[in-house]
Structure 1
Amino acid sequence: MKYTYILLGFIFFISEATVAQHKGNYNQQELENVVSRKNISGFGNAQIYNPVVQQQLNLALQPSTTLTVDLKALKNVEATSFTAVFSLSQIGETAEETNDLVNGRIDAVKTLLISEGISEKDIVIDVISFVPVYDIEIEKKIFSTKYNEVPKGFELQQNIHIRFTKTSQFKAILTACAKNEIYNLVKVDYFIENIAEIYNELQNGLIKLINEKKEYYKLLGFDLNNYDVALADNKYCFFPKDFYQSYQAFNSISFEAIKKKKGLTTAKKQTSYYYEALSFSDYDLVLNPAILEPVIQVGMDIKLIYTPKPIEKIEPIVKTEIKSIYYVVSPDGNIDIKQLNTN
């Protein structure tokens, strides 16, 4: 007997914005920026982010008397510190019981983290809410039924802010929180202390590139001193949470269907996440280009437009020379003509 087996492959890619290097559960943009992509053979299962652009080598240049200098600089900066935010909630029959239960969990987390080298001053508690919890009590009468809200206890919600300086410490933070039933990681924020120095470094790099451009134009016969200049610049800072992508990729292959000659059994679709840094293709200067872990990307752009100065019109100099002639009449009636030198 000859059997024909049909292999069904399904590959799905869903692109969405996420939150941070240590991705938390908070994902505000997940439902807003969902982009489906088709599978591209030869590129693996991950989505193609920043796809390859077809090179157009025969672009026609358009000469112009206006010179444009458009430069971009970027630096990849490792964070000097991180802040992880965890959310926890606790319920109890009384306010005192609820508060004691929460404090017990938090104190246990602090004890574990201090043993890992994290200072107690780097752990901050943010109280979100402390409200009573109500239940519905049904009151039945002969001709009617009433539903009354009755207080049953209290609910306390808090956030734990934990600051650390090394990514290797995050494993200990997760372990400490999980041991005390704190699983909701909201986000991880990145911080750098010397942002002004970084912008100054990028500025110096751009100035060097501008001077090289000026020398290049000078060799071509353009003296930029004879040009008027218009300028625009911009600076920005991107954090890893802006560049996390997610996808779902799998091949639904059912060996059970082959053995038992049954239909396809679908597998659970797990969402995977990866960090995709800002591409360097559009930048003229990149500092610290090789990165191993997610980094903060600090950039600066500048654009200069040089236009020729208007030619000054030389007005001709007109010199007016006036020669004066005087007539002198003597008492006897004689007229004497004299010309005075007025120079």
Structure 2
Amino acid sequence: MKKLFFTASTALFSTFIMGQASGNINYRDQESYNNTAIDINFPSNNDILVSVKGLANVKADAYTAIFSITQNGKTTKEVNELMDQRIMQSLNEIKLKKGVETFVDMISFVPVYEYETEKKVFNRKTYNEVPAGFELKKNIHIKFDDPNQLNEFIAILSNYEIYDLVKVDYFSNALETIKKEMMMKAKLLVQEKLKNYQELLGETFINTEKKITDDFIINVPIEMYKSYEAYNSSSLNLKKAANINQVTKSVTLYYQPVFNKDFDFVINSTVLEPVIQIQYEIKIAINREKKPASKTDKEFILVTPNGDLKTLNTNTTKQN
């Protein structure tokens, strides 16, 4: 009797070590994500570089959810009537909710084709495309203030076979105010760092050449979702070739905000729900090199007996 030997192994890691509180995220592939941290640089030189980075987590005060709806029909009249009926009935219920605004966006209206078989006695089958009807696509935009209302919208729209939630956009009216607050905090920290460097070096930077640059980055939740697959798979030690049918594994999405660890200050450090994240960085480069004054930099001024000031030209050359 043939026996199958199963060896348990992780599907995504050859070595699996994690703390019990780390979660299933540890099953994910070793993916490299784009750097979400702000990065501004000066050309490489011997300057002293003073940098301050800040992060602000801003809770949204308005949201826009977009749902996609598709309708098929034999004629243009049928398609439009069915689409209008589904949208009108669903929006009539949604508009009863407090603080809700809606907008319907036209996406596409195209004919649909199918294949018709043409049979001939002494020839192969021929498949001809023939009109089969029309396909109409629209998007429903819903603006709302309370994030808990999204579940209510989904319940209403699903009654009319509208299931495709395309995305949710986040908005805040406090972004400019938060930016100003971040710039002020960064200014104080830069001054503190400059003072510390001067004390450590025993010199002053007052008369030194300086360069300054700064920038903002804003990350919204739709950009910050990651994914992973968590499962254990088995290896089969088979002597003969065999067909193996694998089951489609579930993919998990999760919100991954920018971490607080790389910043000099953080506004609203605790993140419970997806938020708008603002990053700010300011850099100052200080050139400590003392350039000796050249002869051409000197200027002589003659005071005449009448009290007039005249600049003497010291660059004159002798003529033969």
TM-score over 0.5 for the pair = yes
Aligned match of 2:174 in 187, 194, 197? 194
**Cα displacement (A) at 1:172:** 0.6
Q: How does 1:256-275 map to 2 (within 5 A)?
A: 269-275=249-255
Secondary structure in structure 1 of the residue aligned to 2:158: helix
**Cα displacement (A) at 1:182:** 0.9
Aligned match of 2:79 in 98, 121, 128? 98
User: 1:327: which partner in 2?
Assistant: none
Q: Which amino acid aligns with 1:160?
A: I
Q: Which amino acid aligns with 1:299?
A: Q
Q: How does 1:227-238 map to 2 (within 5 A)?
A: 227-238=208-219
**Percent identity between the aligned chains?**
35
d(CA) in 1 for partners of 2:226 and 2:141?
25
**Alignment CA distance shift 1:206-1:245 (3 Å):** same
User: 1:291: which partner in 2?
Assistant: 271
Secondary structure in structure 2 of the residue aligned to 1:281: coil
What are the superposed Cα offsets for residues 232-289 of structure 1, whole Å, 9 maximum, x if unpaired?
2121101112221111113469xxxxxxxxxxx9876222121111011111011110
Q: Say whether residues 1:11 and 2:16 are aligned partners.
A: no
Contact 1:10 / 1:250 at 8 angstroms: preserved in 2? no
Q: How does 1:196-215 map to 2 (within 5 A)?
A: 196-215=176-195
User: 1:137: which partner in 2?
Assistant: 116
**Alignment CA distance shift 1:174-1:37 (3 Å):** farther
TM-score of the aligned structures, taking structure 1 as reference length: 0.69
Secondary structure in structure 1 of the residue aligned to 2:194: helix
Contact 1:12 / 1:247 at 8 angstroms: preserved in 2? no
Secondary structure in structure 1 of the residue aligned to 2:263: coil
Secondary structure in structure 1 of the residue aligned to 2:54: strand
Q: Say whether residues 1:40 and 2:31 are aligned partners.
A: no
Secondary structure in structure 2 of the residue aligned to 1:241: helix
User: 1:152: which partner in 2?
Assistant: 132
Figure out how many residues of one structure are paired with residues of the other and give that number: 269
User: 2:156: which partner in 1?
Assistant: 176
Structure with greater Cα Rg: 1
Unaligned runs of 5+ in 1: 1-5, 14-35, 52-63, 254-264, 319-343
**Alignment CA distance shift 1:170-1:12 (3 Å):** farther
Unaligned runs of 5+ in 2: 33-44, 235-244, 301-320
User: 1:81: which partner in 2?
Assistant: 62
**Cα displacement (A) at 1:142:** 5.1
Q: How does 1:106-125 map to 2 (within 5 A)?
A: 106-119=87-100, 122-125=101-104
**Alignment CA distance shift 1:90-1:314 (3 Å):** closer
Contact 1:252 / 1:267 at 8 angstroms: preserved in 2? no
Contact 1:39 / 1:45 at 8 angstroms: preserved in 2? no
Two-structure CA RMSD over aligned residues (Å): 3.4
